[in-house]
A = this chain, B = another copy of it.
Amino acid sequence: MRLAIDVMGGDQGPRAIVEGSARAVIERPDLTLTLFGPYQQIHAEIMRLPRPLAAAMSRLVASDAPDVVSSEATASWALRRGRSTSMARMLQSLARGEASAGVSAGNTGALVALARRELGMLYGISRPAISTAIPARGGRRCYLLDLGANVDSPAHRLFDFAMMGSAMAQCIDGVKRPRVALLNVGSEATKGSANVREADRLLRGCVGDLGFAYHGFAEGGDIFQGELDVVVCDGFVGNVTLKASEGLTRMLVERVQMGFESSLSGRLASLLAKPVLKRLKQELDPVRYNGASLLGLKGIVVKSHGSTRADGFYYAIQRALQEVEHNLPERIGERLLRP
């Protein structure tokens, strides 16, 4: 098993990414990772690996790419001038079949545009969507898409998101008949934007042939209720919702801790409660749910959070491995051919 890794573009620099990659190969003896980026930087980071991870060195293969896609770069810059960046080189290697999947923590807009050009799209899909699993009630999870690959999604694209999200829930999580809903400002059919209402009409029009259970409109709170497997929305809405959820979780965990520390009995409780709070934080930490999948491509690309640390990047690699194992693009393609 070989994956292609873009070492540049994360906010924490290449160190976190090389360390996360080392953890992944240590854990899985048949895994080799090709690391794309400036050779010297990669080499320096590999040399700096803590001793327990250094055993992985032989299965971390550096591949020189002199340039980097900055976080300010536009998609059109990446397409015109980004051919020798670590991101583009990673995707080119994937397109040549040298790796089974690619992972990057870099600029999302550039990654979507370059992946689309280098790998091509599945039949009938015009643009990739980004999706990740959101933790929901009762230990369940809900795939939210799109998370920002498309702002202003027309109805037919929302329809595609529903197909791709449901294929993902079936394929990765083994949900037989995923429950899918469209995100809207109310559950009544008269509400919402024209695009959302038209997508609802399209989905209702072929509800017998969908292969998933279409639940109509959902509201923002329904994402966390545990009663839906896939929630579909435009990328602007999904991106804001995901980031707001991350920010709110951080604030709430902080407040719980402060609440315990502000009183004497609280201080005592804090001592006893520490293991509980630590577990909760891990469970809800966005880093764990960090790998987001680019769907609709003829290949597997996982986007890791820009501000990821080593463990977040490690989880993104795990996500990519899962998708390889389940052959996700092929499964999505099958679903699209028999609508």
A residues near B (Cβ < 8 Å) are 71-72, 74, 108-109, 135-137, 148, 151-152, 183, 185-186, 188, 190-194, 219-225, 233, 235-237, 239-256, 259-260, 262-263, 265-266, 268-269, 272-273, 275-277, 279-280, 283-284
Contacts of A263 in B (CB 8 A): 275-276
Please determine whether B249 and A225 come into contact, CB atoms closer than 8 angstroms.
Answer: no
Nearest B-chain residue to A254, judged by Cβ: B137
10 A–B contacts from the bound complex (CB under 8 Å): A152-B193, A221-B243, A225-B247, A237-B240, A240-B240, A240-B241, A255-B280, A259-B277, A259-B279, A269-B273
Pairwise interchain contact B266-A240, C-beta atoms closer than 8 A: no
- Collect the chain B residues with CB atoms within 8 Å of residue A222's CB: 247
Q: Are B240 and A233 in contact (CB under 8 A)?
A: yes
Chain B contacts for A224, CB-based, 8 A = 244, 247-248, 250-251
The answer for the CA separation of A135 and B254 in the assembled complex, in Å, is 13
Contact A240 B185 (CB under 8 A): yes
* Docked complex Cα distance between A220 and B238 (Å): 10
On whether A273 and B266 interact (CB within 8 A), knowing A244-B223, A248-B248, the answer reads yes
- Cβ–Cβ contact B72 & A190, under 8 A: yes
Give the distance to chain B from A333, nearest Cβ to Cβ, in Å. Answer: 28
List of B residues within 8 angstroms of A250 by Cβ = 221, 224
Least CB distance from A167 to B in Å reads: 24
Pick the contact of A221: B194, B233, B247, B252 (CB < 8 A).
B247
Cβ contacts under 8 Å, A244 to chain B: 220-221, 223-224, 241, 244-245
17 additional A-B pairs beyond A151-B185, A219-B240, A268-B272, beta carbons within 8 Å, are: A74-B190, A219-B239, A220-B241, A221-B243, A233-B240, A237-B240, A240-B241, A245-B245, A249-B252, A252-B252, A256-B256, A259-B277, A260-B276, A265-B276, A266-B272, A266-B273, A269-B273
Give the top 8 A-B pairs by smallest Cβ distance, nearest first: A221-B247, A220-B243, A220-B244, A269-B272, A220-B240, A185-B239, A269-B273, A224-B247
Are B236 and A185 in contact, CB atoms less than 8 angstroms apart? yes
- Residues on B with C-beta less than 8 A from A235 are 185
Q: Which of A183, A221, A245, A253 has the most CB of B within 10 A?
A: A221
- How far does the Cβ of A225 sit from chain B's closest Cβ, in whole Å? 7
- Kindly list chain B residues whose C-beta atoms are within 8 Å of the C-beta of A74: 190
| Given known contacts A243-B220, A276-B263, A251 and B136 CB-to-CB distance under 8 angstroms | yes
